[in-house]
Chains A and B, each alone.
Chain A
Amino acid sequence: MDFYLTALLQGLCFSGIAFGIYISMKIFNIPDITTDGSYALGGIVTGVMLTHQYPLYVSIIVVLFAGALAGAITGLIHTKLKINALLAGILVMTALYSVNLTIAGRSNLPLIGTASVFTLFNLTGDVNLNTFWVLAVIVVILISFIGYLLKTDFGIAMRATGNSETMIRALGVNTDRMKIIGLALANALTALSGFLITQLQGFADINMGIGIIIIGLGSVIIGETLISWLRLTSVWGSLLLVLAGAVVFQLVLAVTLAMGVDANMLKLVTAVLVLLIVSLPRLSFIKHHD
């Protein structure tokens, strides 16, 4: 049981990445892979701040700001220099590796005896259960914030930017600025996942971001599949299903590992899993109409 609880906790920690990818990929229609870099940046900054005994609330603000800055740079390169979004993301992600190494000063930062967001309050004696409640509160705050934002006039303009750029420019929105803000927001959320995971696992590592984008993509794609099955159009419903996607993704990986799959094969299993989820709707589509 503990095994699955851990997977659930990881899933909740990764909800930030999932919402980030949801915003960049689904709302802005931009394939942003700054993620790997901004996630590790979030983790490394958390490690440095906490080992230097900065309070949690200062640390989280710095982490969010660092992630937003990374995203904004990708956005600037993409919009102002007219460089393909994928390449812009790769450039920033690559540069961030050195930045992270410089900030950390070494490749691994263990968190021993530092403050942790998971001990902010103590509801139960069970550490894992308490972690769950802390994460639940964080996730509720995240969903409320993003959900409200997307419903505001500004949020509608964000959604229109990825949906019909000619229209929204004709309606007075500077789409370049909007995309930069969107990517900043997406990567701030990604960095938040780095912040949470670092404290969950008790260390920050320079390589923690490698391939992490697949988790966000997988979560969003599971969410999207559920959304189209349920024919949902509401913002809140979509966010909840993306969150469900993040959790389901981790649970499926946990089950795979529990079945005795070699841990070295984890990335392969992850890739195949995402492939399966992406192709599933298409496979069933063929059956229905042939």
Chain B
Amino acid sequence: MIKLDNVTKIFNRGKANEIKAITNITLNIVEQDYLVIVGSNGSGKSTLLNLIAGSTLPSTGDIEINGHPVTHLHDYQRSRWIARVFQNPLSGTAPDLSILDNFRLAALRTKNKGFNIGTNINFKKQVQEKISILNMGLENKLEQPMGTLSGGQRQALTLLMSVMDECKVLLLDEPTAALDPRSAKLVMQTANRLINEFKLTAILITHNLKDAHAHGNRLIQMVEGEILQDYPNEKKLNLTQNDVFAWFS
């Protein structure tokens, strides 16, 4: 589903503050893989995710998504396949727009945003049904601005927004880092549920090693822009939480 071939990313090339964020990474993520990436700050996890999403373009190497070469495509062009949840709950939603408007845009992620009014009664019903699975009582507050909701509610809604339109790949960039434990649990549960239900290929970046151990079917540890360890499902099942903790001590 996602193929990275010898991808390198260098920031500020040729300057005194040159940083080699990603070095020669080759990675093949197959369909319906749920890949978890761990690594300390500055190990290149987020850059790797941004390279896949298209927020930054690689210095060298090739990237392929769903059989399409996407190396030179921008993030808004790769949204045909990719939905994202950001670390900052503010980044995944538009705070001054209503919940309904946010969902409308999400429902058009792979489509043209045209000149008709799409937020009609049918669409409202569709969103209400979607939101009601969260049991947060938000289904009757569709006109409320997104900014009035808590971080946990916004992350949960961002997750739901990702499956409003056809979605192949879900990128989760530390989605629970800014949340309290209870909201974090709910967000991870919702993520797992959607990944299973919609048969998504997913990548999760996390600093929470418990989550890293509990979720996904493949685990990668990154160090200084390279993949240090790669545990496919059968090997990951044999890992204990303490093994993972030991990587960081």
Contacts and interface: CB of A to CB of B under 8 A. Distances in A.
B105 A160 contact: yes
B61 interface: no
Given A157-B105, A170-B79, A172-B76, A152 B117 contact: yes
Contacts of A172: 76-77, 79-80, 108-111
B212 to A, nearest CB: 24
Nearest to A163: B94
A201 interface: no
A154 B108 CA distance: 10
Contacts of A157: 105, 108, 113
B74 to A, nearest CB: 8
A164 B94 contact: yes
A47 B105 CA distance: 43
A159 B75 contact: no
Contact of B113 (A153, A164, A170): A153
Contact of A152 (B91, B110, B116): B116
Nearest to A151: B117
B95 A233 contact: no
B115 interface: yes
A132 B119 CA distance: 35
B97 A160 contact: yes
Main secondary structure of the interface of A (DSSP, over half): helix
B101 A156 contact: yes
**How big is chain B's contact interface, by range?**
35 or more
**How big is chain A's contact interface, by range?**
20 to 34
Interface in A142-180: 148-149, 151-154, 156-157, 159-160, 163-164, 166-175
Nearest to A173: B76
Contacts of A152: 114-118
Interface in A165-199: 166-175
A171 B145 contact: no
Given A167-B91, A169-B76, A175-B76, A156 B110 contact: no
A233 B145 contact: yes
Interface string B66-103: 00000000111101101110100011111111100110
Main secondary structure of the interface of B (DSSP, over half): loop
Given A152-B115, A153-B115, A156-B104, A171 B109 contact: yes
B129 interface: no
A253 B210 CA distance: 65
B106 interface: yes
Contacts of A159: 94, 96-97, 101
A34 B110 CA distance: 34
Given A171-B79, A171-B106, A233 B143 contact: yes
Contact of A170 (B84, B111, B117): B84
A153 B76 CA distance: 16
B105 A156 contact: yes
B118 A170 contact: no
Contacts of B80: 172
A167 B101 contact: no
A170 to B, nearest CB: 5
Contact of A164 (B77, B91, B104): B91
Given A153-B115, A170-B75, A164 B145 contact: no
Nearest to B101: A156
Interface in A110-168: 148-149, 151-154, 156-157, 159-160, 163-164, 166-168
Given A171-B108, A172-B79, A172-B108, A153 B118 contact: yes
B53 interface: yes
Contacts of A148: 117
Nearest to B79: A172
Interface of A: 148-149, 151-154, 156-157, 159-160, 163-164, 166-175, 233
Task: In the A-B complex, list the 9 residue pairs whose CB atoms are closest, starting with the nearest.
Answer: A172-B79, A164-B94, A163-B94, A157-B113, A160-B94, A153-B113, A166-B91, A170-B84, A171-B109
Given A164-B94, A168-B105, 17 more contacts: A152-B114, A152-B115, A153-B115, A154-B115, A156-B113, A157-B108, A157-B113, A159-B94, A163-B94, A164-B90, A164-B93, A166-B92, A170-B83, A171-B79, A171-B109, A172-B77, A172-B79
6 contacts: A153-B117, A156-B113, A170-B53, A170-B83, A172-B111, A233-B98
Interface of B: 53, 55, 74-77, 79-80, 82-84, 86, 90-98, 101-102, 104-106, 108-111, 113-119, 143, 145
